[in-house]
Chain A
Amino acid sequence: MNHILKFNLNGDPVEVTVKSNEKLLDVLRDKLGAVSVKFGCGVAECGACTVLIDGLSVRSCITFAVEVEGKNVVTLEGLQADGPTKIQKAFIKHNAFQCGFCAPGFIVSATELISKNPSPSEEEMRHALAGNLCRCTGYQNIVNAMNEVAEDNRKGDK
């Protein structure tokens, strides 16, 4: 069955026809051009497809598109409307990624974490990012970049 789905994508209202069983991942990528959202497994095991729905990180590969009716969906495209964020700048400085395929998912998960907890401890941060798999980096530069963001936010608090 087809539905006319309306929601906000990266701040803009969108309207798109979807089937009841279509996944948000496919709708975002194939119908709305938000290709930063990646397919890595399709079953919520890798984190490559992570998006924010009303500020909470969600695996778009197991989310039915119809579930986001009326909601705010944010992908990496929407996070950087004003240029790279502080998190992205730290990732750049630390050469945080290699092939880069996992990067959008990591940045979205990291954004959610920092929005809730601006200066997480290293272990809090690792646990928050444990659902995002990276096969290339060994994670060390991601950790270094995130520690720098947390440290900077800590200083900013004072």
Chain B
Amino acid sequence: MKENLKVVGHNAVRLDILEKVTGTSEYTDDIPFGPNLLHMAVLGSPYAHAEIISIDTTEAKKLPGVKAVITGEDYPEKFGLYLKDKSIFPVDRVRQVGEQVAGVIAVSYEIAKAAVKLIKVEYKELPVILDPYDSVKEGAVLIHPDLGNYEIEPWLEAQPGTNIGHLRRIRKGDIEKGFAEAEYIVEGEYHIPHVAHTCIETHISVSKFSLDGRLTMWNSTQSPHTQRHIMAQSLGMAHKDIRVIAPPIGGGFGGKAGISMEVMAAAGAKSCPGHPVKLRWTREEEFYNSSQRTGLRNKVKIGFRKNGKIIAFKHEMFWDVGASAEYGSNVVNATGFSATGPYYIPNVYIDSHACYTNNPTCSAYRGFGYSEFSFGIESTMDKAARIMGIDAVELRRINAIKEGEGVAYDVPMNPNGLVECIDKVAEEIGWGIEEKSDDSNKIIAKGFASVWKAPAMPANESSSAFIKFSEDGSINILVSGMDLGQGFITAMAKIAAEVLGLTLDKVRVELPDTDRNPYEWQTVASHVTWSCGNAVKRAAIDAKSKILDTVQRAHFIDKSQLYLEDNGVKCTTQDSFFIPFSDFVINGIQTEHNTWVGGPILGSGMFMPEYTNAMVDPDTGLGGNPMVHYTVGAGAVTVEIDKETGRMKVLKMAEAFDLGKAINPDLSKDQIVGGFVQGLGTALWEECIFDEKGRMLNDGFTDYKIPTIVDVPRDMNPILVEVPQPDGPYGARGHSEHTMIPVMPAVANAVANGLGVRISDVPVTSEKVAMRMNDPKYREEM
């Protein structure tokens, strides 16, 4: 199927670049709300786990300029995306440092802050759990004693009476028999700490509750419709009366998916009707109170036949989801189904536990758990390759899953170009070619990893789109996917332009406003190019059919002879026939009798996968079809390592992903580079460090280091592979999150290849490399 595409697949400058580069993008905090604006500040708990005995707000309420002080007594509702275990403000206990126990709304932020200091809270400290292994120990204090009473999605398996918010099991084949038949069994135990999204724009919500009972919110968010739904449920309001507007967003990475602090802003607004109320996180609050990436302790055990084929695979994962599993439970679920990596394996045993701890709450983070579990798998694969004497890249080729082979939950794998990705990365990085540093104190080593990821979504997630033409033949596309910087609006514009024969300068895509734009589940899971792209394509096809109808009726030319090109309608049988859209898409076409045919052209489209099924057997994870498809890829790094200090410099990277079809190849490559660098931060430096009381010791950019422009490799090589996704728009599937996943294991594998030291706990810091280099405990035979 060779389509002659005019827009899709060609490069273009992103449609919103001018507004970004001129500083005219109006982010939430840039919108003027006038002198009526109130400011909100919150009081965070100093304890990681404590009972709330009493809260005294008397003094705070007396401070001049304070409009309201609110606590869990006013807003006791529980909320959450998948598991309603989170409080707007807690009534009985706090479960992490920084958990908000009260909010003050005042005429200025300074007054609100001053009033917060006047609130007196009496706590009774409870034992603190900071490690997922401690969370599941017999007799551990229960962080959510009411777990059994929370509202929960039917496909989640909470374990009341324990600290496990969800348990996903996979039992495919016969694991005992598999290991019995294995000639080699290789194991490893790994640890991934919490890391933070660190969007440069912190979370912000401005909420206004009008006196007529309407709630309007301007939120920095990936999830306007989901937020509206959760607000409607937790405030007992009609959806139509809530309007969520999503202005441009200064980074998301999953941290602004679902809902977090926005509920507090809404509660604040409800307490001060008629005023817009602004709640903006400080950088410290951003670290504590938005969400972090799930931590993980995991054990990987892989059984191989002599020829390198994996025959049995056991993976036990203990996720540190923090104080709430409202969103993290789905990280645990998705990874429970997928934590084999992109390999065909006949016998699989996976346990994925969502362990409550008193660390900050974790939710979605670019990669959705796949970065964390892939570190252990890809490290173990390299170890195994060394033991078996098989080249590490070859071992991945041998096991690469092919179309039609059963994934862990035994549903056939989608078409994919994994081997092509592996080959291209190996070639670009010069796999097998030894490189030497000019400095005799330094060695140069390479590391490799191959990965996959599926969008993690409820089985019936959906997208929808409207397209409306204007007099001049230009269109506005109304969708509620969010452009997080990944290029969503450019992709949607190109898909519509392709169907409608439009040039890109005729297309505008606006950011979400739930009053104006139709439904989208959320912009997460790297799924909007696929899901919303399908909706836009259908809306464009709908508009096209109305255009053709109009022309057929006015000109008596059969539709089958008409096509759209160059911003108008052409005819296959009459070369000279051309009607520009601007002639008729609003006012119609005049007939010889001076009557009119047609009218304003509108298109609508929606998409929902109709083949997914999340209701699996809880004991085996089988019997359903929980994922829509997997995107596969591979990555490799060349690292220079100082043999004395352990100092590492990543000189080169190559990453290839099979994105089905690149709607905009340049922007897809930008996703690979950006995701790689974000991954590099987590591989080398990033880690939220807590003291024994659960207080974060590095809640600022000085101590929590993210990559700067001097830290990145000088040689970065993004590679696109295109094996079409059968149900994707023009064959496209997502790949933005995936780009982070290979980095941690590739770096650790490079260190093991270069120095023979296996670092099983990220970040792979220079200090760890230097300290462990000569320690036999960390030795991996070379």
Bound pair (A, B): yes
Interface on A for B, CB 8 Å cutoff?
29, 33, 35-36, 38-43, 45-46, 48, 76-77, 80, 84, 88, 91-93, 95-104, 107, 126-127, 129-143
Stretch at the interface among B128-136, B446-454, B616-624, B709-717: B709-717
Cβ of B548 within 8 Å of any chain A Cβ, yes or no, is no
- Tell me how far the C-beta of A156 lies from the nearest C-beta in chain B, rounded to whole angstroms: 22
Stretch at the interface among B186-194, B377-385, B559-567, B668-676: B668-676
Q: Which residues of A contact B32 (CB under 8 A)?
A: 33
Q: Which residues of B contact A126 (CB under 8 A)?
A: 709-710
- Tell me how far the C-beta of B477 lies from the nearest C-beta in chain A, rounded to whole angstroms: 20
Q: Which residues of A contact B670 (CB under 8 A)?
A: 95, 98, 137-138, 140-141
* Main secondary structure on B side of the interface with A: loop
A40→B667 contact, CB < 8 A: no
B23→A101 contact, CB < 8 A: no
Given contacts A36-B23, A43-B283, A77-B23, contact A99 B709 (CB under 8 A): no
Cβ of B484 within 8 Å of any chain A Cβ, yes or no, is yes
Query: How many interface contacts (CB-CB < 8 Å) are there between A and B?
Result: 155
B17→A92 contact, CB < 8 A: yes
Q: Which residues of A contact B590 (CB under 8 A)?
A: none
Please give me the residue from chain A that is nearest to B678 by CB atom.
A135
Given contacts A92-B21, A130-B710, A138-B712, contact A100 B16 (CB under 8 A): yes
Q: Which residues of A contact B9 (CB under 8 A)?
A: none
Cβ of B690 within 8 Å of any chain A Cβ, yes or no, is no
Report how far A93 CA is from B666 CA in the complex, Å. 12
Given contacts A45-B701, A127-B710, A130-B708, contact A135 B21 (CB under 8 A): no
Report how far A135 CA is from B249 CA in the complex, Å. 13
Cβ of B14 within 8 Å of any chain A Cβ, yes or no, is yes
Cβ of B253 within 8 Å of any chain A Cβ, yes or no, is yes
- Tell me how far the C-beta of B31 lies from the nearest C-beta in chain A, rounded to whole angstroms: 9
Report how far A130 CA is from B636 CA in the complex, Å. 25
A38→B201 contact, CB < 8 A: yes
Which 3 pairs from chain A and chain B are nearest by CB? A98-B485, A100-B20, A101-B250
Central interface residue in A43, A95, A142, by most chain B CB within 10 Å: A95
Q: Which residues of B contact A134 (CB under 8 A)?
A: 200, 709
Report how far A132 CA is from B280 CA in the complex, Å. 21
Which listed residue (A36, A41, A99, A139) contacts B250, Cβ 8 A?
A99
Q: Which residues of B contact A133 (CB under 8 A)?
A: 200, 701, 706, 708
Report how far A134 CA is from B199 CA in the complex, Å. 9
Q: Which residues of A contact B24 (CB under 8 A)?
A: 36
- Tell me how far the C-beta of B102 lies from the nearest C-beta in chain A, rounded to whole angstroms: 22
Q: Which residues of B contact A40 (CB under 8 A)?
A: 200-202, 283
Given contacts A46-B200, A101-B27, A137-B670, contact A95 B13 (CB under 8 A): yes
B253→A135 contact, CB < 8 A: yes
Q: Which residues of B contact A97 (CB under 8 A)?
A: 17, 20-21, 485
Cβ of B734 within 8 Å of any chain A Cβ, yes or no, is no
A91→B21 contact, CB < 8 A: yes
Cβ of B430 within 8 Å of any chain A Cβ, yes or no, is no
| Binary flags per residue of B224-263, CB closer than 8 Å to A gives 1, else 0 | 0000000000000000000000001111110000000000
- Tell me how far the C-beta of B632 lies from the nearest C-beta in chain A, rounded to whole angstroms: 21
Which listed residue (A76, A92, A104, A139) contacts B712, Cβ 8 A?
A139
15 more A-B contacts (CB under 8 A) besides A88-B21, A133-B706, A134-B709?
Answer: A39-B29, A43-B700, A45-B701, A48-B200, A76-B23, A92-B17, A92-B18, A95-B667, A97-B21, A104-B23, A134-B200, A135-B197, A138-B707, A138-B712, A139-B708
Cβ of B19 within 8 Å of any chain A Cβ, yes or no, is yes
Given contacts A126-B710, A135-B706, A141-B670, contact A88 B200 (CB under 8 A): no
B21→A101 contact, CB < 8 A: no
Which listed residue (B23, B280, B701) contacts A103, Cβ 8 A?
B23
B251→A129 contact, CB < 8 A: no
Which listed residue (B14, B201, B708) contacts A101, Cβ 8 A?
B201
A100→B13 contact, CB < 8 A: no
Report how far A126 CA is from B708 CA in the complex, Å. 9
Please give me the residue from chain A that is nearest to B680 by CB atom.
A138
Please give me the residue from chain A that is nearest to B18 by CB atom.
A92
Report how far A104 CA is from B202 CA in the complex, Å. 16
B14→A95 contact, CB < 8 A: yes
Which listed residue (B13, B200, B487, B709) contacts A143, Cβ 8 A?
B709
Given contacts A42-B282, A136-B485, A137-B673, contact A96 B21 (CB under 8 A): yes
A45→B702 contact, CB < 8 A: yes
Q: Which residues of A contact B625 (CB under 8 A)?
A: none
- Tell me how far the C-beta of B708 lies from the nearest C-beta in chain A, rounded to whole angstroms: 5
A99→B251 contact, CB < 8 A: yes
Cβ of B677 within 8 Å of any chain A Cβ, yes or no, is yes
Interface on B for A, CB 8 Å cutoff?
13-14, 16-27, 29-30, 32, 197-202, 248-253, 280, 282-283, 484-487, 666-667, 670, 673-678, 700-702, 706-710, 712, 716
Report how far A131 CA is from B710 CA in the complex, Å. 10
Report how far A77 CA is from B22 CA in the complex, Å. 8
Q: Which residues of A contact B716 (CB under 8 A)?
A: 138, 140
Q: Which residues of B contact A107 (CB under 8 A)?
A: 21, 23
- Tell me how far the C-beta of B505 lies from the nearest C-beta in chain A, rounded to whole angstroms: 15
B283→A41 contact, CB < 8 A: yes
Q: Which residues of B contact A127 (CB under 8 A)?
A: 710
B283→A135 contact, CB < 8 A: no
A99→B676 contact, CB < 8 A: no
- Tell me how far the C-beta of B719 lies from the nearest C-beta in chain A, rounded to whole angstroms: 14
Report how far A100 CA is from B675 CA in the complex, Å. 16
A99→B248 contact, CB < 8 A: yes
A45→B253 contact, CB < 8 A: no
Q: Which residues of B contact A76 (CB under 8 A)?
A: 22-23
A138→B200 contact, CB < 8 A: no
A80→B22 contact, CB < 8 A: yes
Please give me the residue from chain A that is nearest to B676 by CB atom.
A138
B201→A98 contact, CB < 8 A: no
A140→B673 contact, CB < 8 A: yes
Report how far A107 CA is from B22 CA in the complex, Å. 9
Central interface residue in B14, B485, B706, by most chain A CB within 10 Å: B485
- Tell me how far the C-beta of A21 lies from the nearest C-beta in chain B, rounded to whole angstroms: 9
Central interface residue in A35, A46, A131, by most chain B CB within 10 Å: A35
Q: Which residues of A contact B485 (CB under 8 A)?
A: 97-100, 136
Q: Which residues of A contact B283 (CB under 8 A)?
A: 40-43, 45
Q: Which residues of A contact B251 (CB under 8 A)?
A: 99, 101, 135-136
Please give me the residue from chain B that is nearest to A19 by CB atom.
B110
Given contacts A95-B667, A99-B485, A104-B23, contact A139 B709 (CB under 8 A): yes
B666→A98 contact, CB < 8 A: no
Report how far A107 CA is from B251 CA in the complex, Å. 18
Which listed residue (A42, A103, A143) contacts B20, Cβ 8 A?
A103
- Tell me how far the C-beta of B210 lies from the nearest C-beta in chain A, rounded to whole angstroms: 24
Given contacts A140-B673, A140-B716, contact A38 B250 (CB under 8 A): yes
A92→B23 contact, CB < 8 A: no
Please give me the residue from chain A that is nearest to B29 by CB atom.
A39
- Tell me how far the C-beta of A126 lies from the nearest C-beta in chain B, rounded to whole angstroms: 5
Q: Which residues of B contact A95 (CB under 8 A)?
A: 13-14, 17, 666-667, 670
A138→B667 contact, CB < 8 A: no
Q: Which residues of B contact A141 (CB under 8 A)?
A: 670, 673
- Tell me how far the C-beta of B746 lies from the nearest C-beta in chain A, rounded to whole angstroms: 15
- Tell me how far the C-beta of A52 lies from the nearest C-beta in chain B, rounded to whole angstroms: 14
Please give me the residue from chain A that is nearest to B701 by CB atom.
A45
Please give me the residue from chain B that is nearest to A33 by CB atom.
B32
- Tell me how far the C-beta of B524 lies from the nearest C-beta in chain A, rounded to whole angstroms: 15
Report how far A138 CA is from B611 CA in the complex, Å. 37
- Tell me how far the C-beta of B195 lies from the nearest C-beta in chain A, rounded to whole angstroms: 12
Q: Which residues of A contact B201 (CB under 8 A)?
A: 38, 40, 99, 101
- Tell me how far the C-beta of B504 lies from the nearest C-beta in chain A, rounded to whole angstroms: 14
Q: Which residues of A contact B17 (CB under 8 A)?
A: 91-92, 95-97
